[in-house]
Amino acid sequence: MEEALYRGRWVALLVSMHMSFLLEGWRGELSELDEFLDKQIELRQTWRESLGVSETDAEKAYAKMQCCDRLSLILCQRQIPDGERFLEIAKGPEGEQHDLLQRSDKTLTVKPWPFKDKKFTVRVDASLLTQMKFESDEELITSLQHAPISSIEWTFAA
């Protein structure tokens, strides 16, 4: 959380909301965790006030971020279903469910369409790892540094 604040209050606000989303289910199990979660509530209030952002607007922005995060995980973990079947992504900022589908021509679409452009391509560099588990962060970093890199791309169309 401390590192997030260096990127700005807006980033810190969204990261704080995500930390609470991930950890709130364990409230009551560890006093340090409860203190951390309580502190996040206070910090978010302060950041929203200083940014002039309502709680509702912050929640909508977080929902959008969460939806995009889930979509990126689906893509990067190659979980796109075959056979032109829809896969649930997440709820968007207005509470609407977004789903992903890959057409027979390999283009992807999201229903309902949340993007400004009607068609665009996303490219990422991918490090190809053959090992699934690492004993330490250092071992993972070393493996990533020596892994072959390839490009992956997806074309989205309304």
- Taking only the tens place, the pLDDT of each residue in 34-53 is 999 999 999 999 999 999 99
- Judge if 102 and 142 occupy the same domain: yes
Is the preceding peptide bond at 112 cis, omega within 30 degrees of 0? yes
Tens digits of per-residue pLDDT, 127-142? 989 888 999 999 999 9
Q: Based on the fold, state whether residues 87 and 153 are members of the same structural domain.
A: yes
Task: Identify whether 64 is part of a domain.
Answer: no
Same-domain check for residues 43 and 94: no
Domain count, the chain: 2
Q: Please check whether residue 72 lies inside any domain of the structure.
A: no
What is the percent of the chain with per-residue pLDDT over 70, rounded to a whole number?
Answer: 100
Residue 65 lies in a domain: no
For residue 77, tell me if it sits in a domain: no
The domain in which residue 107 lies consists of 83-157
Average pLDDT over residues 70-74: 95
Query: 99 and 87 in contact (C-beta within 8 Å)?
Result: yes
Residue 2 scores a pLDDT above 90: no
Same domain, residue pair 47 and 91: no
Residue 70, domain member (yes or no):
no
Give per-residue pLDDT as tens, 84-114. 999 999 999 889 999 999 999 999 999 999 9
Instruction: Note whether residue 63 is domain-resident.
Output: no
Residue 125 belongs to some domain of the structure? yes
